[in-house]
Amino acid sequence: MSTEPSHSEPGTDTPAEAVPDTVSDPEADAPENPEVPAKPLLPKRRVGWVFAVAVVFWAIDLVTKNLVVANLEGKEPQRILGGLIYLQVIRNPGAAFSMATGMTWVLALVALAVVIAIVWLSRRLRSIGWAIGLGLVLAGATGNLTDRIFRAPGGLQGHVVDFISAFAPNGKGFAIFNIADSAICVGGALIVLLSLLGKDYDGTSTKDKKKQETQEDQA
């Protein structure tokens, strides 16, 4: 006795062999912890900003030093901006603003370490503000390190060229400095400000990180 394959009539149940092996569950694709927000996409890396800022301000520092050495060394202080600034050439064996005089080679090594640290950190930078700040610090450290290496007496013992005396000549109103010193101070101040505002070097906010960690702990 032969048997014929069963055919479902209209309105009848689907045969067992036609029933799919798996059934889609609407909740299966839902995230396990819907209350925990997904991590935000990180901004682009800003390494280019670091080196662009560093190159520009390093060049400005180098050009201004060469100009004042060529035109003002051995001359009386030049009064400009109504006496707000006096230009005069001072050879400084110490750190910024004539500090740590007599430790020239140590300061050169410190500057070299700063340059290496910034270059290493720049690979992880995603904040434009941090990139500008570190670029300024890099420019200042590199500018003064250039003097340590190439200016007399040379060999990491070179004296840095300072030429900006604020408010009075001969550093009587404020310590004589240069563009590199200014870049270091402005860049450092910017980094401190960003840190106080909770802006991290990777482009995220420290406040958002703490909030997300709290939500993950509670989930």
**Given CA atoms 184, 186, 190, 193 in this order, what sign does their dihedral have?**
positive
Q: Which residue in 13, 21, 25, 162 is the catalytic one?
A: 162
pLDDT at 133: 95
Strands (E), the chain: 78-80, 85-92, 160-166
Q: Give the range among 27-41, 174-188, 200-214 with minimum mean pLDDT.
A: 27-41
Which of the four pLDDT bands, split at 50, 70 and 90, describes residue 134? very high
Strand partners, 87: 78, 164
**Residue 179 identity (one-letter amino acid):** I
Which of the four pLDDT bands, split at 50, 70 and 90, describes residue 23? very low
Taking 60 as the threshold, does the pLDDT of residue 27 lie above it?
no
pLDDT at 195: 92
Q: Give the range among 62-66, 108-112, 190-194, 195-199 with minimum mean pLDDT.
A: 108-112
String of b and e for 133-148 (b: at least 16 CB within 10 Å)? bbbbbbbbbbbbbbbb
Taking 70 as the threshold, does the pLDDT of residue 43 lie above it?
no
pLDDT at 92: 85
**29 carries an active-site annotation:** no
Which of the four pLDDT bands, split at 50, 70 and 90, describes residue 210? low
Determine the average pLDDT of the residues in 178-197.
95
Averaged pLDDT score across all residues of the chain: 79
pLDDT at 181: 93
Q: What confidence tens digit (pLDDT) does each residue in 88-119 have?
A: 999 987 655 555 555 666 777 888 898 999 98
Sequence-separated contacts (24+) of 166-171 with Cβ below 8 Å: 166/84, 166/85, 166/86, 167/83, 167/84, 168/83, 168/86, 169/77, 169/79, 169/86, 169/88, 170/77, 170/86, 170/88, 171/90, 171/98
**202 carries an active-site annotation:** no
91: helix, strand or coil: strand
Considering the chain, what percentage of its residues have pLDDT values greater than 70?
A: 69
Complete DSSP assignment for 5-43: PP-PPTTSPPPGGGS-S----TTTTS-S-TTSPPPPPPP
pLDDT at 67: 97
**Given CA atoms 146, 96, 61, 131 in this order, what sign does their dihedral have?**
positive
Q: Which two tokens stand for residue 28?
A: 């299966």
Residue 206 CB: number of other CB atoms within 10 A? 12
Taking 80 as the threshold, does the pLDDT of residue 15 lie above it?
no
Place of tokens 């500018």: 143
Place of tokens 């993950």: 216
pTM across the whole model: 0.71
Q: Which two tokens stand for residue 203?
A: 């482009």
Which of the four pLDDT bands, split at 50, 70 and 90, describes residue 202? confident
Question: Given its phi and psi angles, is residue 60 left (phi above 0), alpha (psi -120 to 50 degrees) or beta?
Answer: alpha
Q: Where are the domains of the chain?
A: 53-67+79-200
pLDDT at 107: 74
Q: Which residue in 21, 25, 181, 217 is the catalytic one?
A: 181
Q: What confidence tens digit (pLDDT) does each residue in 171-184 have?
A: 898 889 999 999 99
204 versus 82: which is more confidently predicted? 82
